[in-house]
Chain A
Amino acid sequence: MSVLKAVFLIIIGLAGGLAVGAGMVAFLTVLGIAPRLAQVTRTAHYIKWYENSIVAGAVFFTWTGLQDMLFHLPKDITLLFGLFAGMFVGLLAAALTEVLNVLPILAKRIKLVDKLIWLLMAMVFGKVLGSLFQWIIFIPFS
């Protein structure tokens, strides 16, 4: 009976993981973050490595996250970790905005095609300051 239960759990776990993993890869593919990074850094040859790094990262953090693992690293490491995490979220946000085609339509509508960089910077500053506000003021004082 317990073997049957175990087999059942394995199947459910595997199925869930497959669905979530496939979904995540599909999402990242649509947004095209890895190709974009490869293009900017002119390292398109290493795109396979980038794929592997996405998979490895997802698996590693799923596993360590589920295991209550503690690494006891110095506090400064979190600075670097935060910067990288933020950059990735920034890439995600930018890619999403781009997929939704907000900026070109807006710039065209109000005839500011030559000031597109301004609109972009408005969003960048908005996100950075909004995020800082949330961590430093909004959450501690609510």
Chain B
Amino acid sequence: MSGFEKDGDTMPKSERIYLRLRHRVQVKPDQRVTLNQIAKLVSNLEDDRRLENMVVHQVSPQDKHLIVIDVTQVVALLQKRFPDLEVEIIGPTQSILEIVYPSKSPRFLWVIFVWLLLFIGSGLTIMNFHEDVSMQEVHQRIFEMLTGEKEEYPLWLQIPYSLGIGVGMILFFNHLFKKRLNEEPSPLELEMFNYQQSIDQYVIMNENKEAQNKLDERS
């Protein structure tokens, strides 16, 4: 017969919740962020909707792009609202809120621009590489070595060579027709993950520093 009927302060001491903050949450520019949106709660309460729907943060235009919610903020809020609740924290101690604004510029123009940039750039890079290592001479030499004939333009060798470059790159990134050769993440996905992880870590540290500065300014 436990649970909280009125203000939550009627709860017995044994009421305990386990709180696990989500690492990264996307929110809308004017969203009221509730606890269950940024955290996974496990409790033995019969009715924990009030807990789950507790507003942790109201997103405002001053928030720019990222907000870091520290677990101490959440615990402070919980203690104020539900003084008898025991909170056990598991997992990450910060949650990063990413505010997703509706994009203004048409994205497909960007895609075309970047696509052409990469296309022309990588084409030029491979040509520079070939010039750099005298690939033409190497191909002539290989052609002569294999067939015994001299050939100034060994296209028999060079056309499959060119196609092979594409095959090799796709093989490395394991993106053959989107169908996985195996379940493991590709190097690109890992790289993407590491990059995101570094950004998150930077944001967490930086935001904490900013909070300290603000406190100093106030005193």
| Chain B residues with CB under 8 A of A115 | 111
**B122 contacts A37, C-beta separation under 8 Å:** no
**A95 contacts B123, C-beta separation under 8 Å:** no
| Chain A residues with CB under 8 A of B116 | 122
**B172 contacts A90, C-beta separation under 8 Å:** yes
**B114 contacts A87, C-beta separation under 8 Å:** no
B212 close to chain A: CB less than 8 A: no
Q: Smallest CB–CB gap between A30 and chain B, Å?
A: 13
A12 close to chain B: CB less than 8 A: no
* B-contacting 9-mer, from A17-25, A49-57, A133-141: A133-141
**A74 contacts B147, C-beta separation under 8 Å:** yes
**A98 contacts B119, C-beta separation under 8 Å:** no
Q: For window 138-185 of chain B, which residues contact chain A by CB distance below 8 Å? A: 139, 141-149, 153-175, 178, 181-182, 184
**Interface 0/1 of A102-142, CB less than 8 Å to B:** 01111110111101111110111111111111111011100
For B158, the closest partner residue in chain A by CB is: A135
Q: Smallest CB–CB gap between A92 and chain B, Å?
A: 8
* A-contacting 9-mer, from B21-29, B30-38, B78-86, B186-194: B186-194
B18 close to chain A: CB less than 8 A: no
A1 close to chain B: CB less than 8 A: no
Q: Smallest CB–CB gap between B123 and chain A, Å?
A: 3
Interface size on A, residues (CB 8 A): 73
Q: Smallest CB–CB gap between A101 and chain B, Å?
A: 6
Q: How far is the CA of A137 from the CA of B99 in the complex (A)?
A: 50
| Chain A residues with CB under 8 A of B170 | 90, 120, 124
Q: For window 73-88 of chain A, which residues contact chain B by CB distance below 8 Å? A: 73-88
- With contacts A78-B157, A112-B111, A112-B114 taken as known, whether A127 is within 8 angstroms of B126 at the C-beta atoms is yes
**B162 contacts A73, C-beta separation under 8 Å:** no
Q: How far is the CA of A98 from the CA of B188 in the complex (A)?
A: 7
For B196, the closest partner residue in chain A by CB is: A108
**A98 contacts B145, C-beta separation under 8 Å:** no
| Chain A residues with CB under 8 A of B125 | 93, 127, 130
- With contacts A78-B146, A126-B123, A130-B126 taken as known, whether A85 is within 8 angstroms of B161 at the C-beta atoms is yes
A42 close to chain B: CB less than 8 A: yes
Q: In the complex, which of the residues B119, B147, B171 contacts A123, with contact meaning CB atoms closer than 8 Å?
A: B119
B195 close to chain A: CB less than 8 A: yes
- With contacts A39-B184, A78-B143, A123-B118 taken as known, whether A128 is within 8 angstroms of B162 at the C-beta atoms is yes
For B191, the closest partner residue in chain A by CB is: A104
B103 close to chain A: CB less than 8 A: yes
| Chain A residues with CB under 8 A of B156 | 75-76, 78-79, 82
| Chain A residues with CB under 8 A of B118 | 106, 119, 122-123, 126
**A40 contacts B164, C-beta separation under 8 Å:** no
**A85 contacts B191, C-beta separation under 8 Å:** no
Q: In the complex, which of the residues B121, B184, B192 contacts A126, with contact meaning CB atoms closer than 8 Å?
A: B121
Q: B residues bordering A, Cβ < 8 Å?
A: 103, 107, 110-111, 114-127, 129-130, 136, 139, 141-149, 153-175, 178, 181-182, 184, 187-188, 191-192, 194-196, 199
CB-defined A-B contacts under 8 Å, sample of 5: A36-B187, A86-B166, A131-B123, A135-B136, A136-B159
4 A-B pairs besides A104-B192, A104-B195, A130-B125 with CB distance below 8 A are: A40-B181, A86-B166, A106-B114, A133-B123
